[in-house]
């Protein structure tokens, strides 16, 4: 019985993997990531094979799994990225600046990093997760096992402190 299921699953993979790869690649614009997502799609599908009632809808079912997996992956990537995919407008604007403007911006970024390096490690981590990685207060709270109210307070105070420190440094 298991061998029949493996053969059936292998046939499904053969039939749908290229189509799913194209769909996921259109979403991610990354061939390697698309391959990984398709693999993950089939792993998820294999674990739920017994729930399929209408075998004619397997293609649509696999497509939905692949798209949702790709969306989850892109969201996770966005959270972990300093420069989100959608932030290309700001990046292009940065590229179009003069060398002096770029140097000033890089100097400011360096000043921010120097200031926050002196902070308490937990407060610095909260600030970085919020400001650079775009995590929500609730996500930071869960990740660090600290109350959401405390996270919000730390973020507010950290921003205020950084603003004051940078004002003093740049004046």
Which one is predicted more confidently, 79 or 44?
44
Q: Does any domain span residue 43? A: yes
Q: State the residue range of the domain holding 129.
A: 92-170
Q: For the full predicted model, state whether its pTM sits above 0.85.
A: no
pLDDT band at 146 (very low <50, low <70, confident <90, very high): very high
pLDDT band at 84 (very low <50, low <70, confident <90, very high): very low
Say if residue 150's pLDDT is above 90: yes
Domain co-membership, 67 together with 8: yes
Q: What is the CATH number of the domain that holds 63?
A: 1.10.1740.10
Q: Does any domain span residue 86? A: no
Q: Strand, coil or helix: what is 98? A: coil
pLDDT band at 153 (very low <50, low <70, confident <90, very high): very high
Domain co-membership, 117 together with 139: yes
Distance of CA 80 to the CA centre of its chain: 5
- For 145-166, letters b (16+ CB in 10 Å) and e give ebeeebbbebbeebeeebeebe
Which one is predicted more confidently, 147 or 110?
147
Domain co-membership, 74 together with 109: no
pLDDT given at position 85: 44
Domain co-membership, 9 together with 76: yes
pLDDT given at position 170: 66
Which long-range contacts link 4-12 to residues 24+ away (Cβ below 8 Å)?
5/49, 9/42, 9/46, 9/49, 12/42, 12/45, 12/58, 12/62
């Amino acid at each position: 019985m298991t061998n029949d299921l493996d053969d059936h699953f292998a046939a499904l993979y053969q039939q749908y993997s290229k189509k799913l790869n194209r769909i996921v690649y259109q979403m991610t614009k990354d061939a390697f990531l698309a391959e990984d997502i398709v693999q993950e799609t089939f792993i998820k599908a294999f674990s739920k094979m017994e729930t399929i009632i209408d075998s004619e809808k397997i293609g649509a079912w696999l497509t939905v799994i692949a798209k949702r997996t790709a969306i989850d992956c892109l969201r996770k990537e966005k959270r972990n990225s300093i420069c989100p995919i959608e932030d290309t407008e700001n990046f292009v604007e940065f590229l179009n600046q003069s060398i002096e403007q770029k140097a000033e911006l890089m100097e400011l970024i360096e000043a921010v990093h120097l200031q926050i390096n002196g902070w308490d490690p937990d407060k610095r981590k909260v600030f970085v997760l919020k400001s650079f990685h775009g995590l929500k207060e609730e996500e930071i709270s869960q990740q660090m096992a600290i109350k959401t109210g405390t996270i919000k307070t730390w973020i507010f105070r950290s921003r205020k402190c950084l603003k004051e420190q940078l004002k003093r440094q740049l004046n």
